[in-house]
Amino acid sequence: MLTVALPTGRVLEDAVEVLQFLGIPTELLENRGRKLILEDSSWRFILAKPMDVPLYVSRGIADLALAGSDVLAERKSSVVELGDTRKGRCRMAVAGPREVAKRFESHESSRAGLRIATKYPRVAEEYFQTRGIQVDLLHLSGSIELAPRLGMADCIVDIVQTGSTLKANGLVVIEEICPVSLRLVASKKSVHLRWERFAPFLEAFRRKS
Amino acid sequence: MSRIPQGCQTLGGLRAEGVNRCRESFFSTFSSRGYMSFLPSGLQLLESVWEKYPPAFRNRLVPLNSPYAEPSVLMGDPTLAALAYMSAHHAPHERPLRLCYAQKVYRRGDAPEDPFESYQVGAELLGWNGHGAEVEMLSLIMESFEKLSIPLPTVVLGDVRILKHLCSALSREEEARLLAALSSGSYSDYYSVVAQISSKNGTAAFLQVLPHLKGGEEVLTKARELCGNLPLEDLQEITTSLKEMGYRKQLRLDLALFREIGYYSGPVFDFYLPQEGRSLGGGGRYDGLLSQYGILGQALGFNLDLERMARNIPPSAHGKTVMVWGGQMSPPKALEYARKMASLGRKAEMSWHESPEASRELARIRGYGWWLDGKTGQLHDLKHPGENPQAQDIWSKEECSC
């Protein structure tokens, strides 16, 4: 039996499409109700919060998983990335009001002490630290766009898909950090010990790309 | 309750007992084959370690100042300490030298959930050339697991010289990008790097196949067919020897197995227990590090996480333990009962309670199977009160005529 961890929320639909592309049966996921574990004799699916998915894989609970590259960058869990599904594409960016954007255009010292609200404190810290900019990080769990509007932060680090949420909250993209997409990942143990099951998945992605 | 630093842990009870059983199993196995116990200092001078470790490893060390203001690091890996000890205390003609240790080590992890402190058991075999060293060490590890009566781990075996050999046909930039992709565990990055490598002597074509060379001994044959001049002799010898010793089912080859190339220089390995989702640890050959101490020859070492190992062993049963009540008798006489029980292979804990009832109650709380009345010399089966069906099996008047 192979155990697959899947992220709940809107990305689940993309994840199911990827499973179908790989030839993994998804009937169990169609009428899941509120169940978090679905299994038959060959497959077991674990439905978890997107940010927790890499942990299930790095601990070897799940053999395989679909996780956003944003989440993988934030959790830094020890997993093997088998392929980029090119689904759920968006970008990780620094965004803020136009007046804050001007601070990014002027001398680097003007960015020192920026208050950054984010769901991704490790990614944000690494991004600014490698540029030698000291910032104050504010770790929020959601609705990050609220923070600059209410004066709690100067700008945000978050994922941006269409930019409509940013626009609705008077924010603009200031700098792009990295592209984001859904990745197929596997546990190190499973890659070492059950490679025969994974090799076709790797090949499927290579053919696609 | 007093706090302990984040990332550290204090173990007690059954977990501590389990860790000790694992440690004893490894120490008894390795010391019976000439491995000397080694107790390195918990601090190492920064100047002694910094330049010797590759950046990826040394950035995980934890620097601090000693009380004498000497820049130091918390023990992050006993290997360097073992090498320094050997080069300072043993002459070349005494080699090979074998050391084993159990030590708390401190390293910053990559992920927030990674522990900062771990308790490791390990061994080093220094100054011997040839694959016999790997076979010796790997088989002793297996023997140590056999003593713990748990399903044996799988050892994943690779050789960093395969990648080194392939990288020699690449530019420095290509090599760096390829190793970075493998180090981060990203096959998608790996393949995007390989796709950009111009075909040189078939290297690019072989790199396409490399991640798939995982499995049994047949991957060596396949690798030879694809690239005739790969350094596979040691892997072949190790595999053949371990198979001969009955460990075929425990062996798995992965020719793309990656361990820090700047540190390791030959065969490398990782251990996976069936019940444990992560590697317990591993090791490999690190000749380059040895040469930094002016010592020629081969060095080989491993370390395994004792605490995670202990989670997978069955708890030791307390049913055979005896509570010896000596509350109303002289301590030497009561202690002699305990000594006798220990000589019969039974664990015995003393109870100095005034009342026998309190002593029996404590034995019950502890989950002990037996209670010995020091006053009468009578043994009571606590699990089957009044029956004492097995009392004679472990106790006789002759044996207990203290």
B191 vs A122, A189, A206: nearest CB? A206
Assign B123 to helix, strand or coil.
strand
Under the banding of pLDDT at 50, 70 and 90, the label for residue B387 is low
Alpha carbons A53 and A69: distance in angstroms, whole number: 11
Highest mean pLDDT among A75-79, A176-180, B93-97: A176-180
Co-location of B139 and B163 in the same domain: no
- Return the SS3 of B206: helix
Q: What is the pLDDT of residue B401?
A: 47
Q: Domain range spanning residue A173?
A: 90-179
CA pair distance B32, B147, nearest whole angstrom: 13
Quote the number of domains for chain A.
2
Q: Predicted confidence band at B396 (pLDDT cuts at 50, 70, 90)?
A: low
- Which of B114, B187, B189 is the best mutation test for A, with the most CBs of A within 10 A? B187
Helical H segments across B168-302, by residue range: 172-183, 187-196, 203-209, 218-226, 233-244, 287-291
B79 in the same domain as B42: yes
Cα(A15)–Cα(A20) distance, integer angstroms: 9
∠ CA A51-B111-B213, nearest 5°, is 95
Residues of B in contact with A191 (CB under 8 A): 214
B98 and B202 co-located in one domain? no
B256 within 8 A of B266, measured Cβ to Cβ: no
Residue of A55, A81, A193 with shortest CB distance to B187: A81
Question: Residues with Cβ < 8 Å from A105, sequence gap 6 or more?
Answer: none
Interval B31-49 mean pLDDT:
95
Tell whether A14 and A66 lie within a shared domain: yes
Residues in B closer than 8 angstroms to A202, CB to CB, are 187, 211-212
Q: Give the best residue of B186, B207, B275 to mutate against chain A (max A CB count within 10 A).
A: B186
Same domain as B387, residue B340: yes
Strand A43-48 relative to strand A37-39, pairing: antiparallel
Closest chain A residue to B275, measured at CA: A60
Residue B265 covered by a domain: no
Indicate if A33 and A59 belong to the same structural domain: yes
Q: Given CA atoms B98, B103, B106, B110 in this order, what sign does their dihedral have?
A: positive
What CATH code is carried by the domain that includes residue B104? 3.30.930.10
Nearest CB to A202 within list B110, B187, B252:
B187
Do residues B134 and B225 both lie within one domain?
no
Contact B313, B21 (CB under 8 A): yes
Structure tokens, A96: 């803020």
Domain identity same for A119 and A85: no
**H/E run at residue B361:** helix B356-366
Coarse DSSP helix, strand, coil percentages of chain A, rounded to the nearest 5 percent? 40, 30, 30
Q: Which residues of A touch B188 (CB under 8 A)?
A: 81-84, 183, 205
pLDDT of B310 above 90: yes
pLDDT of residue B402: 46
- Residue B351: pLDDT band (50, 70, 90) is very high
Structural domain includes residue B232: yes
Nearest by CB to B272, which of A78, A193, A209?
A193
Instruction: Work out the pLDDT band at A58, boundaries 50, 70, 90.
Output: very high
Cα–Cα distance measured from residue B57 to residue B189, given in angstroms and rounded to the nearest whole number? 22
Rounded Cα distance, A15 and A68, in Å: 10
Segment holding B120, helix H or strand E: strand B117-126
Closest by CA to B30, choosing from B146, B137, B153, is: B137
Residues written for chain B: 402
The answer on A119 and A109 residing in a single domain is yes
Cis peptide before B96 (omega within 30 of 0): yes
Least confident of A171-180, B96-105, B319-328: B319-328
pLDDT at B93: 86
| Full DSSP string of B59-115 | TTS-EEE-TT--EEEE---HHHHHHHHHHHH--GGG-SEEEEEEEEEE---SSTTS-
Triad B265, B113, A73: Cα angle to 5°: 75
DSSP state of B329: S
Q: Is the same domain home to A192 and A130?
A: no
Quick one: A144 and A191 in the same domain?
no
| Closest residue of chain B to A60, computed from CA coordinates | B277
For the ranges A60-64, A139-143, B117-121, B372-376, the lowest mean pLDDT is seen at B372-376
Name the residue of chain B whose CA is nearest to A58's CA: B278
- Same-domain status, A187 and A117: no
Residue B17, judged by CB atoms within 10 A of its CB (0-12, 13-18, 19+), counts as middle
Is it the case that residue B262 has pLDDT exceeding 90? Answer: no
B303 and B346 fall within a common domain: no
Which chain A residues are Cβ-neighbours of B191 within 8 angstroms?
206, 209
Q: Looking at the structure, tell me whether residues A202 and A157 fall in a common domain.
A: no
**pLDDT at residue B393 is higher than 90:** no
SS3 B1: coil
What residue of B is the nearest CA neighbor of A185?
B186
DSSP code string of B261-282: TTT--SEEEEEE-TT-SS--EE
Interstrand relation of A43-48 and A2-7 (parallel, antiparallel or unpaired): parallel
- Taking the CA of residue A131 and the nearest CA in chain B, the distance in Å comes to 19
Interface residues on A facing B, Cβ-Cβ cutoff 8 A: 55, 58-61, 75-84, 122, 183, 187-189, 191-193, 195-196, 199, 202, 205-206, 209
Q: Do A55 and B279 touch (CB under 8 A)?
A: no
Contact A196 B215 (CB under 8 A): yes
Measured between CA atoms, how close is A193 to chain B, in angstroms? 7
Residues constituting chain A: 209
Closest chain B residue by Cα to residue A73: B111
Looking at the structure, tell me whether residues B204 and B108 fall in a common domain.
no
- Quote the number of domains for chain B: 3
Do A9 and A19 have their domain in common?
A: yes
User: Do the Cβ atoms of B166 and B182 come closer than 8 Å?
Assistant: no
Residues B337 and B299 in one domain: no
Check whether A15 has a pLDDT greater than 60.
yes
**Which residue, among A34, A55, A46, A35, has the nearest Cα to A1 in the 3D structure?**
A46
Locate B42 and state its tokens. Answer: 């918990």
B15 plus B126 within the same structural domain: yes
B178 and B143 part of one domain: no
What is the signed CA dihedral for A63, A68, A69, A75, rounded to 10 degrees?
-70
Which residues on chain B are in Cβ contact (under 8 Å) with A192?
154, 156, 214, 252, 254, 257, 270, 272
**How sure is the predictor about B141, in pLDDT bands with cuts at 50, 70 and 90?**
very high
Q: B383-392 b/e with 16+ CB inside 10 Å = b?
A: eeeeeeeeee
* C-beta atoms of B156 and A75 within 8 A: no
Residues A45 and A32 reside in one and the same domain:
yes
Read off the pLDDT of each residue in B1-17 and give the average, rounded to a whole number.
86
* Residues A103-127 as b or e (16 or more Cβ within 10 Å = b): beeeeeeebeebbbbbbbbbbbeeb
> Do B156 and A82 count as a contact with CB atoms less than 8 A apart?
no
pLDDT tens for A95-118 read 999 999 888 887 777 788 899 999
Query: Å from A42 to nearest chain B CA?
Result: 19
Q: Is B63 found in the same domain as B41? A: yes
pLDDT score of B328: 87
Q: Which amino acid is at B7?
A: G
Contact state of B214 with A79 under an 8 Å Cβ cutoff: no
Do A26 and A81 belong to one domain? yes
Domain of B215?
A: 155-244
Indicate yes or no: CB of B187 within 8 angstroms of CB of A82: yes
Domain identity same for B197 and B232: yes
Contacts of A189 in chain B (CB under 8 A): 272, 277-279
Single-letter code of the amino acid located at B82: A
> A68 and A94: one domain?
no
